[in-house]
Amino acid sequence: MTKAILVVSFGTTYPETRQKTIEACEQVIQARYPDYAVYRAFTSGVVIRRIKANEGLDIPNVMQALEQMTSEGIREVYIQPLHIIIGGEYDKILKQSEAFVSSFDVLKVGKPLLYSQEDYKRVKALLLNRYGRFGPKAASVLMGHGSQHYAFVAYAALDHMLQGTAVRMGCVESYPSVELIEEQLRQTGVTDIHLAPFMLVAGDHATNDLLSDEDDSWKTYFERRGYTVIPHLVGLGEYPEVQALYLEHLNDIIG
Query: Which residues are annotated as catalytic?
Result: 145
The H-or-E segment that residue 160 falls in is helix 153-161
3-state secondary structure (DSSP) of residue 11: coil
Q: Is the peptide bond before 176 cis (omega within 30 degrees of 0)?
A: yes
d(CA 192, CA 190): 6
Listed in sequence order, the residues at least 6 apart from 227 whose beta carbon sits closer than 8 Å to its beta carbon are 190, 191, 192, 193
Triad 161, 208, 112: Cα angle to 5°: 40
Q: Which residues contact 23 (CB under 8 A, 6 or more apart)?
A: none
Contacts 24+ apart (CB under 8 A), 21-24: 21/82, 21/200, 21/201, 21/202, 21/235, 21/236, 21/237, 21/238, 22/82, 22/200, 22/201, 22/237, 24/237, 24/238, 24/243
